[in-house]
Amino acid sequence: MIAIFRRLAIASLLMPFALSASAAQINTTLPKNVQQALSAYKLPNDALSLVVLPLTGPGTPTFVNADVPLNPASTMKLVTTYAALELLGPTHKWQTQFYADGPLRDGVLDGNLYLKGGGDPKLNMEKLWLLMRDLRANGVREVRGDLVLDRSHFVKPQLPSFNDDGGDGTQPFLVEPDSLLVNLKALRFIARAEPGKVQVSVEPPIAGMTIDNQAKALPAGACPDWPDVRYNLVPQDKGGYSMVVTGSLPAGCSAQSYIAPLDHQTYAAGAVRAIWQELGGSIRGQDRLGEVPKQARLLVRAFSPDVVEIIRDINKFSNNTMARQLFLSIGQQLRTSADADDAKAAYRAISQWMARKGIDPRHLVMENGSGLSRAERISAREMAEMLRAAWHSPYAAEFIASMPLVAMDGTMRKRLRRTPLVGEAHIKTGTLNTVRAIAGFSRDQNGNTWAVVAILNSSRPWGASALLDQVLVDLYRQPKHPDSARR
């Protein structure tokens, strides 16, 4: 009995200390260095939302402006890619198929050739070439009918075009998703100046597009950082397009440009015809859109890489188009009769998925799943709670490995190079003209891992990337624990 009273007495003495420790378990102020950085960049404290959660080992969580709905820019890709891992599955793949609606005799297809897109985010030229090589190996040489493109896989939303503040809709990062997305719809032009002339080539070659080279070669000199070589796509009266190349380039210099001026139908059909011609085949008919008829028979098919590889490309290099393809794929798989399109279906499915994980998605707004949007929103708390759930997911390793390694690759390869954080954090970045953001997983100097989310929305966020880097540096500098030397 005396022993029991003694323990109760000791517990009562310790209770005030326990209460004060409990009250101190959540930090609601920004780190001093981060506050100073905000002041230096003339940004108010409420422009930044910060949540830091310890995932292994001891540590104090930080919640600052945690429940404010903010535009996360490309960190929204983490929501889309993690949701895809769980809702589609890590081994999910997309199919692209060729069908025929007529008999095949002696290499001649007496009918139409159908190319059905399945929403593959990574149907590049190599994969398309291999698919058409299989078609050739299966005995098809000449197609007497039309080339019919089936782009019905997605029920696409009607969204306004994103304004990139530069007015150039041909930029590859603005390419919209499509059921039949070929090679991200990108063209690579290379201009090489020789004495007296400029040579211009394009990859991949597109049937029906010619090059009108009007670029001028200048005398040899220093090669400019921003070469004056311009590309303008002009429709032709008899069909097809002419790419008019203008500008000038000093002899001995070269210039490379990636643009996406063609629509999806023209690009896909042009790529198919160019490859087919290279393989010795011919297509007599026209190019048109249409759905594969029920009586058509499958000739060949190709499978995409799985979701694990797709999300790595999306997160490492912040690929907007692939993220939008993935978002629509979630919607296509889970669409119900109540969903107007695949984007709305994906938004509904992801919101319900988060709620099932115990994450209140009240601030979540998803338009296209890539963050390339003025409308998308999420709070730092919602993002951080999602990251914590991902840490405990069976697919945690795949998800974490998809993010850029600090100072090593992806969009973080040039940041924090001269710090102890090299290779210590997997961080997704986000950038719009009014947004700077980071989200991901970072280790401290004790070897413990944290989920970190920092989102800054401001009309003048210039220099704020350095401020967010400071968040990671301060997180790394957690007080050393007595046993850290043994870790």
Rounded Cα gap, residues 210 and 205, in angstroms: 9
Question: With contact defined as beta carbons under 8 Å apart, do 457 and 449 qualify?
Answer: no
Written as six digits, the tokens of 60 are: 């104090």
**Domain range summary for the chain, segments of one domain joined by +:** 32-91+308-477, 93-159+265-304, 187-259
Q: What's the pTM value of the predicted model, to 2 decimals?
A: 0.93
Residues in the chain: 487
Going from the C-alpha of 133 to that of each of 103, 117, 127, 138, 271, the distances in angstroms are: 20, 17, 10, 9, 14
Q: State whether residue 149 is helix, strand or coil.
A: strand
Asked if 32-91+308-477 and 93-159+265-304 have one fold, the answer is no
Q: Give, to the nearest 10 degrees, the angle between helix 76-87 and helix 320-334.
A: 40
Q: For residue 368, which of 392, 342, 393 has the smallest C-alpha distance?
A: 342
Query: Residue written as tokens 């709070």?
Result: 379
**For every one of its 487 residues, what pLDDT tens digit does the chain have, with 9 covering 90 and above?**
444 444 434 444 444 434 334 444 899 999 999 999 999 999 998 999 999 999 998 999 999 999 999 999 999 999 999 999 999 999 999 999 999 999 999 999 999 999 999 999 999 999 999 999 999 999 999 999 999 999 999 999 998 888 877 778 899 999 999 999 999 999 999 999 999 999 999 999 999 999 999 999 999 999 999 999 999 999 998 889 999 999 999 999 999 999 999 999 999 999 999 999 999 999 999 999 999 999 999 999 999 999 999 999 999 999 999 999 999 999 999 999 999 999 999 999 999 999 999 999 999 999 999 999 999 999 999 999 999 999 999 999 999 999 999 999 999 999 999 999 999 999 999 999 999 999 999 999 999 999 999 999 999 888 889 999 999 999 999 988 665 544 4
pLDDT at position 324 = 98
Structure tokens at 486: 């043994």
CA angle 331, 71, 36 (to 5 degrees): 150
Dihedral in degrees, nearest 10, Cα atoms 115, 120, 125, 130: -70
CATH number at 93-159+265-304: 3.50.80.20
| Per-residue model confidence (pLDDT) at position 79 | 98
Predicted pLDDT at 1: 43
What's the fold here for domain 32-91+308-477? Beta-lactamase (3.40.710)
pLDDT given at position 480: 81
> pLDDT value at position 303?
98
Q: Is the backbone peptide bond immediately before 160 cis, with ω within 30 degrees of 0?
A: no
For 251-365, where are the alpha helices, taking DSSP H only? Answer: 264-278, 307-317, 320-334, 342-356
Q: How far is CA 255 from the centre of its chain?
A: 26
